[in-house]
Amino acid sequence: MKERVVRAAEAALAHHQYVSAIDVLTGARLLEPTQVEAWRKGRIDFLERVIQGNLKKISLSMAIFRHWAREKGLKPSETGYVRRTRAGTMDLQFSKSGDPAIEKSYRTHYVSPVLSERKQQRITEKLSRAAEPVVFEILRDSQCSECGAEVERGSFLFMEAGQPLCLPCARMDGLEYLPAGDAALTRRSAKYSQRTAVVVRFSRSRGRYERQGILVETSAVERAEQECSLDHDERTKARAVGAARRKEQDRALIAQMTARIGILFPRCPPNEAAAIAAHTAARGSGRVGRTAAGRSLEEQALAAAVTAAVRHEHTKYDALLAAGLDRDLARQQVADQVQAILAAWRK
């Protein structure tokens, strides 16, 4: 346990120069990031409910963390964790008991002493900021749990403590929907709006919620539109320069991946290695090549990309899926063939 906690704390400190209890719990695999997100949005009443292990194990982990922080000479800083509600904000609860001393222990994060006071203040403000409310664009008809109004498919619904609310009951009916697509307009509208919410919709094909746009005040949109019209030409030129830069970065990444795949799988045909690299590194694809591990050319990530390519291009996997076979069963049926090809490419 000590090794896991220290490793997680060291990684967090190296990444962002401060460490929180949540960093340690997630890094030590005692807590899932998705559960933290659900807790911050009010869908979980206290965080200890979803931490893996009993209270003794959790207390031990936190004691190891605090001892490590003191030995490192890190500066303790108490942070407020809050979430948004219809009435404003409310404190998030970490422990089952809600004991003030335990809550303070969880809220305290530890900052590198080399950071300036200004940066330390920015970190505290960032951690104390409530998560943006999330509104769902629903895929089926629903009903508001408060007023009983029917909410039709394609409309917006807000979830509070597991209960669906229509926008009037959630006090968001005065907000305007701004679809994604214009980053400058979205950014400026959110900046000038006192109230905002993120709109998401569930993608059945990808099995996840995807951002569709935001809800903001109409006056904020109007102000943002005026600003955007004034510097449109300048932003157009900047986008062109940025697109060219990203294209060159992608070309370099694909070349590096192709070379790395050739080292890991020396007998992989060069044209296939290049095709695999181009496929997995496609920007915006969400594939393994676009993850941090993929861009760092880590062996596990690139091996996963090659494995997926072999499964799709050299087996009947796609035909099995088209015939309606379960994905896991289809993978099992072609697993031996995939491993044989990979073994041949590694020789």
Same domain, 65 and 145: no
* 12 and 118 housed in the same domain: yes
pLDDT at residue 176 in the model: 92
Residues 218 and 250 in one domain: no
Q: Which domain holds residue 27?
A: 2-128
Query: What confidence score (pLDDT) does residue 178 get?
Result: 93
Pick from 124, 98, 105: nearest CA to 65: 105
d(CA 124, CA 105): 15
Please tell me whether residues 63 and 94 are part of one structural domain.
yes
pLDDT at 124: 78
Looking at residue 84, its pLDDT comes to 75
Instruction: Please tell me whether residues 93 and 186 are part of one structural domain.
Output: no
- In this structure, the answer to whether residues 118 and 141 fall within a common structural domain is no
Same domain, 84 and 199: no
pLDDT tens-digit profile of 228-265? 999 888 888 988 998 899 999 999 999 999 999 999 99
339 and 237 assigned to the same domain? yes
Question: Please, are residues 259 and 265 in contact by the beta-carbon 8 Å criterion?
Answer: no
Q: Are residues 115 and 148 in the same domain?
A: no
What is the pLDDT at residue 2? 86
Domain boundary among the residues 128, 153, 169 is at: 128
Three-state SS letters, the chain: CHHHHHHHHHHHHHHHCEECHHHHHHHCCCCCHHHHHHHHCCCCCCHHHHCCCCHHHHHHHHHHHHHHHHHHCCEEEECCCEEEECCEEEECCCCCCCCHHHHHHHHEEEECCCCCHHHHHHHHHHHHCCCCCEEEECCCCEECCCCCCEECCCCEEEEECCEEECCCCCCCCCEEEEECCCHHHHHHHHHHCCCEEEEEEEECCCCEEEEEEEEEEHHHHHHHHHHHHHCHHHHHHHHHHHHHHHHHHHHHHHHHHHHHHHHHCCCCCHHHHHHHHHHHCCCCCCCHHHCHHHHCCCHHHHHHHHHHHHHHHHCCHHHHHHCCCCHHHHHHHHHHHHHHHHHHHHC
Which residue ranges of the chain lie beneath pLDDT 50? none
pLDDT in the model for residue 205: 84
Last residue of a domain, one of 128, 162, 182: 128
Q: What is the pLDDT of residues 21-37, one digit of tens each?
A: 999 999 988 999 888 88
pTM: 0.56
The domain boundary, picked from 230, 265, 296, lies at 230
120 shares a domain with 7: yes
Q: Clarify whether residues 146 and 220 are in a common domain.
A: yes
327 and 285 share one domain: yes
Task: State the total domains in the chain.
Answer: 3
Give the per-residue pLDDT at 87.
Answer: 67
